[in-house]
Amino acid sequence: MGEYAIEIILILSGVLVGVINTLAGGGAIITMTLFTVLGLPIGVANGTNRIAVILQNFTSSVAFIRKRMLDIKSGVKLALPAVVGNIVGSLVATHISDTIFTICMAVVLTVVLVYMIFDNSHRHPHIHGGRPLETKFYHYIWFLLLGFYGGYIYIGLGYVILAVTIWSMKLDIITANVIKGFIIFLATPFSLIIFMINGQVDYAYGLWHGLGNIVGAMLASHFAMTWGVKFVRWFTMVILVVCFADLVGLISLHDWLHALLNLFHTGCSVC
């Protein structure tokens, strides 16, 4: 492959993933697939993904704070149990069971998609903004479990957080995305450290892809309010459908990315 071709691919895919993860979730499926297509073992891909996750969510969180869309105190309170769960989940992430992952993701995607199709609250959307959140005891239990899942697998974590915050905390999807990004940003560094200690991080791939994630997060967070709740809701539903189709074998993101890489390689060879 031509000089800097891999770096260009990592940056461009990072922009796409940054937009997807900021407005919805599921972009990690693209990242993990890309890393494995490029030759990284699944464990290293899982660890390397955390670099882009941190950079993307830091960027979007800063942007939303500036827009006064995030109550930092509420976010920190919910992030604390998520951090504990994230550490424990990372410590036991010695391997990822494809079967367990597929089942969990299929259930999560189906439930969230069905809810978003039949939920009527979007017809009269009320954007919560940066006001303090009303948290109950069971919310902390939820985020402890979410943190564990994020430390162990991470893929699909954004959708699970959206489900909890929308259903249990009655947040609009934009505010739910704001909280989601902030909590993931605070929790993920701890799991990254554990993967680093175990030598399961490719820093070059992670940083190049993370650079693209930053750009994507900046674009998405800047336009989120302009596009509005309805756009974000439909955008999320489309990504949900694509992720579900990949999980059940109707499409193959792995094959698509492999074909794009071959096409890019051919183009570089001609040039």
Averaged over 256-265, what is the pLDDT? 77
pTM of the model: 0.80
Q: Which domain holds residue 207?
A: 5-270
pLDDT at 124: 44
Averaged over 60-88, what is the pLDDT? 90
Confidence of residue 93 (pLDDT cuts 50, 70, 90): low
- How far apart are alpha carbons 79 and 134 in whole angstroms? 15
**Number of domains within the chain:** 1
pLDDT at 94: 54
Say if residue 113's pLDDT is above 80. no
- How far apart are alpha carbons 190 and 265 in whole angstroms? 36
Averaged over 230-254, what is the pLDDT? 79
Tokens 């105190």 belong to which residue? 73
Confidence of residue 182 (pLDDT cuts 50, 70, 90): very high
pLDDT in tens, 128-146: 666 778 888 899 999 999 9
pLDDT in tens, 218-240: 998 877 667 766 777 788 778 77
For residues 56, 61, 63 and 67, what is the CA-based torsion angle, rounded to 10 degrees? 160
